[in-house]
Structures are given as C-alpha cells and as structure tokens.
A and B are shown apart, each in its own frame.
Chain A
C-alpha cells in the first residue's frame, strides 16, 4: 500500500457522496434538515394561509439570499477546519469603500471596488492563517474589528446612499426573468460552490485539508493555497452579500451587519459543517438558510417577539444539529 492510497483512505469518509449514490450516504443530519424543512413548510401552510403564496416565497428567499451567500463562503472555510469571523467587517468595509466612489456615478466602479475590497480582506485573512500559521479565530476576530473600524474612519461614521446608481440598486431590487436578482445569485453561486466542492479537484483537497491536514500535505495537496483560496472566496461572498443588502435598502450603514458573523456561523453549523473540519456541504448550508428563513418568517407572521424568536431559532439549530453530531461520534 502506497502512502497516497493510505492517505486517500484516511480522508475518504469526509468526501461528499456522488449524486448517483447520494441517497445511501445521506447522513442523519441531512435527513434531519430535510425533515425539518418539510415539516416547517407543512406547518407554515397550516397556520398561515398565505405562507406558500408566491409573494411570501419571494419574501423568504430574499431574506435568506445574503446570509446564504455569506454562509457559502463560511462553509468552505469551515470545511478546511478554519473559521471566518471577519465576514461582517469585510462586508461593511467593502460596501463603504465602494460607497466612497458613489460620487463618480459609475456603478461599475462602486461594484468593482466593493468586491475587490472583500477579496483583499479575504486574501489577508488567508495569508495570515495559512502562511504565518496564526489561528483563524484570532486573525478573523482581528480583521472583523479592523474592518468595522476602517469602515467608520473612511466614512466619517456617516451612512452613504447609492441613490441614482441604477445598476447597483438592481443587484438588490431588480429581477431576472421574474426572479429577484439576490435569489438568482444565491442559486448561481450555490451551483458554483457545489461544482467546486463535488466535481473539481479542489473539492477533495478542501475536505482533505480539513479532515487531516498532515495527511493532506503528505499526499501533495498545497494546503496553503487551499486555505488562502477559501478565505478569499469568503471575503468576496461577504462583500457581495453586503452589497445586495445595501442595494436593497439603498443605504450603506457603517455600523451595519452587527452580529452577522454569528448568524452565518449558526447557519453553517446547522447545515452540517463541523467546526473540527473535513465535514460540510453547500446543499446543507442552503437547506439551513431556508430553515432559518422560514422559521423567522413564520414567527414574524405569528407576531412572536424577537426575543422569543432567538430562543426558538436556537432550539431549532440544536434539534437539527445534535443528531448529526451524535452520528459522527458513533462513527468515530
């Protein structure tokens, strides 16, 4: 047995199943999520007659689009065994930097600067974590603070209004073939992320890095490149999500996205990603985003207070995540 075969075998359990035999590999966590999603839809329609109306589905999907896109990036990072707490800082700094170019009247410049800033923040995170070996918790906690502080400094603490930048506003308010642009982006980016994790050579490298970094290195995987890449993707996802929300409200708030990193992390974990690395899927993250979106929508429709909503959301997360964790423990 060669070393490569041995290492491949070691990381195999972490790899996602191929579509053909996916049903046989469905984890308890995935089944729990699917069951909860179906139950929520049935329950929702039973208690709120307008729940399955097109308008309400539209509201739910729009509500989850930004958090879902951020969670895609976070999922990739978590699969590698790292964490990205900087996403709210990256989002707001990117939006503010882009917003400073609003007076140019060029939506291309504003959008470009926004995404580029997200990329730079992500690359900085990746470089510090992968190249210098600083724990991602510390690095991204630092860049979260730096991002927020810089956003305040460069904006002078004042909100920016992208009024008149129609192409920018279209990202948050426009439609493509009758589907809201943020939802289209959620689907396209989800498909791209699934392709990346399941059907490219990057996928196995990603899971291997998170599953057993030493084994991954020995099998020739450039774990530095993998980590820098996932942080860069996460930074761009954060910037894009921030832009969608800002465009939707036509308002760039330098104090915005308060606590967003924890909400996104919650969705990622609910989606089945293990903070220990090597486990997680984009489809799980998307399902988790929908679960949270539906729960919040239903609770708002029922007039449940935001404080109780937080409790209910936490209970839902625990109820879905615990069986999966238990299954992983038994498997070990």
Chain B
C-alpha cells in the first residue's frame, strides 16, 4: 500500500511547482555567472554536504532537534522566470504612496509591463491586494511597490486592504472580492493553512490569485512570488566561515516553525555544519521582537563571558542584540578581546547604518519591494485567461541578493556590496 507522508506531499508539490515553472524558463548562458546562479550553486553544494553528515556535533544536534531538513528540502530553489538576470543598480525609484519614503525597487524589470493601459485598454481591471500590516515597515514597503505598479497603468483599479494579522478577516476580504467579481487578487498571507480555502474559492470563481513572499496551502493558486530565504541564511554562514573558523554562537531566532526561521537558520547551520570550531552557546526564539532579542542577549551576556557570534534571523533581532551588547559594554568582549560578530538579515536602513559604523558585520538582504511583481503577475494571468498573452510561471522566484558588508569582499564567488552600493534598503532613515 502506498504511504504518503506530509513531507513527501510537500516535496512533490514543490517539484511540480518548479516543473510548472520550467517551460517558460529560458536560461541564457550569461545567467550562470549571475549572483542568483552563484548562490543557487552554493546552496546545492552546502546542502549536499550537510546531507552526507555534519562533523560539528553542536550544530548537527541543533539541526536535527528542530527538524530543519524537512523544511529545507521543500523550500523552492530555482531559476528566475523568463531567464531574467538581476544586477545591482537595476530597478526604479519613487516615493512610496503609503510610507511616503524614498524607495528604489530592485525588480521592476522582472516580468516587465510597459507603462500605460494593460491588456484591453478599453476595460477597467479591478485588482485587490490584501496583506497585513500598514504598521509594519517591511510590509508597508511591500504595499508601496504594489501601489506604484498599479498606478503606472490607468486602467487598473487597485484596492488595498490591511487584514491586521487576522486570517479570518483576510478570508472575508477575499470572499467579498469574489462576490464583487474582481479581476485579480494579490495577497501576503501570514500563515499557510488558513488562506488555502479562500484562495481555492477565488480560483474556482475564475479569479487569478498571486501570493507574495509567503505561501498558502492552496494548490490551485495561480502564482507564488517567493524567494531567497535560503540564500539569506547560507550567506550568514559563509560570512562566518570566511571571517572566523571558530566561535561561540548565540542565536536569536524567529518563531519556531516559521518559514523565515526554518530556512534561514537551517541554511546557516548547513553552511557551518562541517566546520568543527563552532559551538552553540544558547538558542532563543525572540519572535521578531527587538525587545525580546535585547533581553535574551542581555541575559546571555551574563551567562557566557566568551560569546563571539550573535546570529540573528532578522534585522529586528540584530538591532536588539546590538543594543544589549552595547549597553553591557561588551562590543569587544569576544575571546582574545575581539569584537562580537553580529550577523543579520533584512536590509532595513537602520541595519545598514550599523554596518557602515562597523557594529553589525553583515546583512543578507530580504527585500519587501516585490509587490510590483505580484501586480504584474496577476495582470498576466488575467490576460492569459482572455487569451491575450501567456500566463507567467506558477512559481516566480525572486532573485537571490548578495550580502552587504562594510568593505567589499569576495566570499566563495559572491561579490559583497557595501551599504553605499545598496539603494534598495527599506524603512525610515536614521539620523544622528
């Protein structure tokens, strides 16, 4: 009798997604040297090595205990749609309609749509964007980019709703749009499972649906725009290996089981798992809260006098860790009087400022500026439904982005960028 575990099903779904994407994926020769391709190659290399075993007992124990393999194996890693090659400097600049902040969106040339009316110019297309968090700097930037793209096309009418981290509300919003026969729906789901049924209902009603950044449990969804968590964690590990062959690490992680934590932390552990010099001192889940990361780090600094690395799954955590280390006057308290290395994700402007000041070692960017891709993808789906163009792939990978360091470096073929070379940061400027 055939037995199918959840893991097998997830793997199959991911494989089918990549397969579905592949017919439209034309990879030109020069794409092999792109940051995206280099990072995908490194992901494969370190993942394969980790699968054969980890020589570092501490790292291996944490990796096994939290079941990272299950998550990593189903996270999609693949080529960009249409053979797109992203290079630093690409994109468009504008003022965010919601945040009122200056934005440079990196991927405006990805699956591009020319400015002006889309599809049937005589028709008005009503698109709904539902997400959570006008009060969240990362998410408001996502909405900014979606609104910017919609505004470039006079026959798109975009309605943006904040579901305020209430899955039921998001479901109700989608059902309302189904009743109103909207032409397309774009969403940022907070959690996978609850959003599956509403998305299925929309698709069944003939409305294309595109999810951004996170996934839903729907297998019917038209497209998913997602990407580089794997490259984030991997680069944190590669940087650490490059900077120090040994060290005592404390972890400030996001919610246990969240995709961001599972993939970033898992990829980090894969990268350092075969280097024997690292020791796991403490492992905290600070749930994306700066205050919590601050407290955990402050307490860890009292428990351990030999911390040399602070690994943080997100930028909030990294800033909390830095503040705690600063308050304890422990910036240079790593063994040998060295600086405690702070490794971060998420390219908020405040994090970049600390990199420039030399307080945070590196950050792997994870840009929220992808809302525009969602709008373009849903427009393409609407067009495909009307026979006006081909549908975009089901899985639209966002480009892997190179890490940002204070000085330019080359780490295993990745050319790092400096804060001054990174115009894509989000969030408010920090003066002083």
B140 touches A306 (CB 8 A): no
Is A209 located at the chain interface by the 8 A CB criterion? no
B323 touches A250 (CB 8 A): yes
Chain A nearest CB, measured from B313 CB (Å): 13
Determine the chain B residues whose CB is within 8 A of the CB of A245 once the complex forms.
Answer: 291
- How many residues does chain A have at the interface if contact means C-beta atoms less than 8 Å apart? 40
B302 touches A55 (CB 8 A): yes
Q: Give a binary string over B261-279; 1 marks a CB under 8 Å from any A CB, 0 the rest.
A: 0000000000000000000
Chain A nearest CB, measured from B170 CB (Å): 18
Binds A, one of B31-39, B98-106, B241-249: B98-106
Is A301 located at the chain interface by the 8 A CB criterion? yes
Is B350 located at the chain interface by the 8 A CB criterion? yes
B300 touches A301 (CB 8 A): yes
Name the contact of B327 in the complex, choosing from A158, A173, A303, A307 (C-beta under 8 A): A173
Determine the chain A residues whose CB is within 8 A of the CB of B328 once the complex forms.
Answer: 55, 59
Q: Looking at A164, A173, A248, A301, which has the most chain B CB atoms within 10 Å of its CB?
A: A301
B428 touches A161 (CB 8 A): yes
Determine the chain B residues whose CB is within 8 A of the CB of A250 once the complex forms.
Answer: 323
Cα–Cα, bound, A51→B299 (Å):
10
Determine the chain B residues whose CB is within 8 A of the CB of A56 once the complex forms.
Answer: 302
- Tell me whether A249 and B294 are in contact in the complex, defined as CB-CB below 8 angstroms, given that A56-B302, A300-B303, A303-B283 are known contacts: yes
Q: Give a binary string over A141-161; 1 marks a CB under 8 Å from any B CB, 0 the rest.
A: 000000010011000111111
Name the contact of B290 in the complex, choosing from A55, A152, A253 (C-beta under 8 A): A253
Is B78 located at the chain interface by the 8 A CB criterion? no
Chain B residue at minimal CB-CB distance from A59: B298
Is B285 located at the chain interface by the 8 A CB criterion? yes
Instruction: Give the residues from 25 to 62 in chain A that come closer than 8 angstroms, CB to CB, to chain B.
Output: 48, 50-51, 53, 55-56, 59, 62
Is B135 located at the chain interface by the 8 A CB criterion? yes
Do most interface residues of chain B lie in helix, strand or loop, or is the interface mixed? mixed
Cα–Cα, bound, A235→B282 (Å):
37
A158 touches B428 (CB 8 A): yes
Determine the chain B residues whose CB is within 8 A of the CB of A157 once the complex forms.
Answer: 98-99, 133-137, 140
Chain A residue at minimal CB-CB distance from B297: A300
A303 touches B100 (CB 8 A): no
Is A313 located at the chain interface by the 8 A CB criterion? no
Cα–Cα, bound, A164→B281 (Å):
35
A248 touches B299 (CB 8 A): no
Name the contact of B298 in the complex, choosing from A48, A63, A156, A163 (C-beta under 8 A): A63
- Tell me whether A256 and B291 are in contact in the complex, defined as CB-CB below 8 angstroms, given that A59-B299, A152-B135, A249-B320 are known contacts: yes
Known contacts A62-B327, A251-B290, then 5 further A-B pairs from the complex at CB < 8 Å, ordered by chain A residue? A157-B99, A157-B136, A163-B431, A301-B299, A306-B292
A50 touches B134 (CB 8 A): no
Q: Looking at A250, A258, A300, which has the most chain B CB atoms within 10 Å of its CB?
A: A300
Chain B nearest CB, measured from A158 CB (Å): 5
- Tell me whether A158 and B137 are in contact in the complex, defined as CB-CB below 8 angstroms, given that A250-B323, A258-B289, A306-B287 are known contacts: yes
Chain B nearest CB, measured from A265 CB (Å): 18
Cα–Cα, bound, A63→B327 (Å):
12
- Tell me whether A161 and B431 are in contact in the complex, defined as CB-CB below 8 angstroms, given that A296-B295, A300-B299 are known contacts: yes
